[in-house]
Structures are given as C-alpha cells and as structure tokens.
C-alpha cells in the first residue's frame, strides 16, 4: 500500500468522525452489488471503494434495513491468539510468548449468517473476541508501529470444536477445530478512531450473558501481539487479528443464537444450524 492510500484512509476516517463519534464502516450487498459504506445512524453512505484503500462517500445513501451486511473485511489472512485472558486459562500458566495460530480466510462469515455445525462435530463452542483490522503493511514492527498500523476493530467469534482441538482424537493442527466453514463470524462494523484498550466484551447465548470481560484484561495487548506476529509474517491491510476469548465457553446447538457485543462497536449475531 502506498503512503498516499494510507493517508487517504485516515483522512476518510477523520472526515466521517464528528457528531456521531468514531467512524463505523461496513461492507454490504444490495441486490447483486457488493459495496463498502460508512454507517450514519440507520443509513449507510456508500463509499467509492474499500475504506481500507481510502474509499470516500460517493453521494449514494442506502437504508440499513434495505441491505445485507457482509463480513466488513475480506482478509488476506487471519491470525488469532490462544490463552490471552487469565479468566480463560483456569489453572494453566500464562504463555511465555503470544500463542498465535492461523484461522483460514475461508471460515469467515458475516453478521446474521448461520454458523453451520459440521456433521461429525459434537462439541462446538463460541469464543467472543475483539478483532483488530490491519490498515498498514507491517514487518518487524515495533509496538508503536503496530498500534499505528491498526485501522480499526470489530467483533469476532472464534468458533471452536473442542474435541478436534484437544480431545482424545485431536488433530495436529486446528484446521477444522477452528477453521471449518463459518467458524469465523466477523462484524457487523469496523470502527475506527476508538480506544479499544478498555472495552467491555459480552457474549450472549440465547440472550443470556455467558462471557463478560474488559479488553483491558488481555494478557498480550493488541500492539504486542501484532508486533510479535510481524517478526515472522508480513501483515497487510485487511488482515485480521482475533485477540483471544475470556472466561469459559459452552457448547452450542442447532436453534441457538449467539451474540458477541463489544461496547462502542456493535453486536455480531449468528444463528446456529446443523449441516
Ligand atoms: Mg479464540
């Protein structure tokens, strides 16, 4: 990405801030068209292109209720971190370094999309998480450079099949435990210009709060995990970082509704369906 486009994205974010607070970006489908937009109340101001590439309002306005919101970003890669809240560790010692892993881009789905339980699955859990969206190319980044390279944040669900992840018949890698189709819900909005270091994260299963913790409780904060990752892997605009889940998790069943609600961002809602 050129310096000019990075500045363009930042300028758009600033231009769209104001009375309504931090800018909220979406990707949406209307009919057969897919476009990017900025949320303004119950309306979407369509952008000339991807907000990560400096897309600007093109004058077209849609009603939020008339569009299908998609995952707000189509990432080139998705990294995630394990064991990043003390409340999720139980008696396990905190990791000596950020415990990163990959989720495949193919598992990403959008708000309201069903999480499909694969036929052979028996123990699929939610993991409500803050997700950082990379806005600049980062390689061997310092923590300061990593912080400056975050475009914004959104909600994610690191859906996990516990038996494939750690049961007696577990796989060597978490390719299906955390990478089966639809195991990466994302959205509904990417929020830029928000301090994401102390936001309350809540997950609800069928309306009942099942996870509740502030992002200030992360063991490795967002700049630290991004700087660490960038020592090995170049991060590009649009790449995602799932930042870990707090507390304990439970199995989801067909007919359930799971919601990841992060203060200042929005609610990512997905129904559970059998394959
Ligand atoms: Mg997770």
pLDDT in tens, 94-110: 999 999 999 999 999 99
Shared domain check, 251 and 126:
yes
Shared domain check, 66 and 88:
no
- Residue ranges of the alpha helices (H) in the chain? 3-16, 86-89, 143-148, 162-166, 222-229
Please state the domain count of the chain: 2
Residue ending a domain, among 70, 92, 108, is 70
What spatial distance separates the first Cα and last Cα of the chain, rounded to whole Å?
A: 40
- Residue 246 CA, ligand 1 centroid: distance in Å: 9
Owner of token pair 């870990």: 244
**Omega of the bond leading into 188 within 30 degrees of 0 (cis):** yes
- Residue 271 CA, ligand 1 centroid: distance in Å: 19
Shared domain check, 10 and 127:
no
- Residue 182 CA, ligand 1 centroid: distance in Å: 14
Q: Is this prediction's pTM over 0.75? A: yes
Shared domain check, 84 and 44:
no
What would the DSSP string read from start to end of 100-157? EEEE-GGGEE-TTPPEEEPTT-S-EE--EEEEEEE-S-BSS--HHHHHHTEEEEEEEE
Shared domain check, 88 and 58:
no
Q: What is the pLDDT along the chain (275 residues), one digit of tens a residue?
A: 344 444 444 444 544 444 457 999 999 999 999 999 999 999 999 999 999 999 999 999 999 999 999 999 999 999 999 999 999 898 889 999 999 999 999 999 999 999 999 999 999 999 999 999 999 999 999 999 999 999 999 999 999 999 999 999 999 999 999 999 999 999 999 999 999 999 999 999 999 999 999 999 999 999 999 999 999 999 999 999 999 999 999 999 999 999 999 999 999 999 999 99
- Residue 154 CA, ligand 1 centroid: distance in Å: 14
Host domain of residue 82: 78-274
List all residues 6 or more positions away from 217 whose beta carbon is below 8 Å from its beta carbon: 85, 86, 87, 246
Shared domain check, 164 and 55:
no
Structure tokens at 62: 């849609």
- Residue 243 CA, ligand 1 centroid: distance in Å: 7
Shared domain check, 117 and 52:
no
pLDDT in tens, 193-230: 999 999 999 999 999 999 999 999 999 999 999 999 99
User: DSSP state, 235?
Assistant: B
Give the per-residue pLDDT at 90: 86
Shared domain check, 225 and 124:
yes
CATH number at residue 25: 2.30.30.370
Shared domain check, 59 and 144:
no
Residue ending a domain, among 54, 70, 86, is 70
- Residue 28 CA, ligand 1 centroid: distance in Å: 26
Q: How far apart are CA 224 and CA 208, in angstroms?
A: 32
Shared domain check, 224 and 111:
yes
- Residue 39 CA, ligand 1 centroid: distance in Å: 28
- Residue 58 CA, ligand 1 centroid: distance in Å: 37
- Residue 158 CA, ligand 1 centroid: distance in Å: 5
- Residue 60 CA, ligand 1 centroid: distance in Å: 37
Residue ending a domain, among 70, 93, 118, is 70
Helix (H) or strand (E) holding 205: strand 200-205
């Amino acid at each position: 990405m050129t310096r000019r486009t990075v500045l363009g994205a930042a300028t758009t974010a600033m231009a769209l801030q104001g009375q309504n607070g931090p800018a909220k970006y979406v990707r949406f489908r209307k009919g057969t068209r897919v476009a990017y937009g900025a949320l303004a109340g119950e309306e979407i101001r369509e952008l000339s292109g991807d907000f990560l590439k400096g897309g600007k309002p093109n004058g077209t306005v849609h009603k939020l209720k008339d569009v299908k919101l998609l995952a707000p970003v189509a990432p080139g890669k998705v990294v995630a971190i394990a064991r990043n809240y003390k409340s999720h560790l139980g008696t396990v010692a905190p990791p000596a370094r950020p415990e990163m892993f990959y989720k495949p881009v193919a598992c990403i789905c959008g708000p309201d999309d069903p999480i499909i339980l694969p036929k052979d699955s028996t123990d699929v859990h939610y993991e409500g998480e803050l997700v950082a969206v990379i806005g600049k190319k980062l390689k061997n980044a310092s923590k300061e450079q990593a912080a400056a390279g975050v475009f914004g944040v959104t909600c994610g669900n690191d859906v996990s099949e516990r038996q494939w992840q750690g049961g007696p018949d577990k796989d060597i890698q978490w390719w299906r435990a955390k990478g089966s189709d639809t195991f990466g819900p994302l959205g509904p909005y990417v929020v830029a210009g928000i301090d994401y270091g102390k936001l309350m994260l809540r997950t609800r299963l069928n309306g009942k709060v099942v996870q509740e913790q502030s992002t200030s409780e992360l063991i490795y904060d967002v700049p630290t995990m991004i700087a660490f990752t960038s020592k090995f892997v170049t991060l590009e605009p649009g790449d995602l970082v799932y930042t870990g889940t707090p507390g304990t998790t439970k199995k989801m069943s067909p007919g359930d509704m799971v919601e990841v609600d992060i203060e200042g961002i929005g609610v990512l809602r997905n129904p559970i369906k059998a394959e």
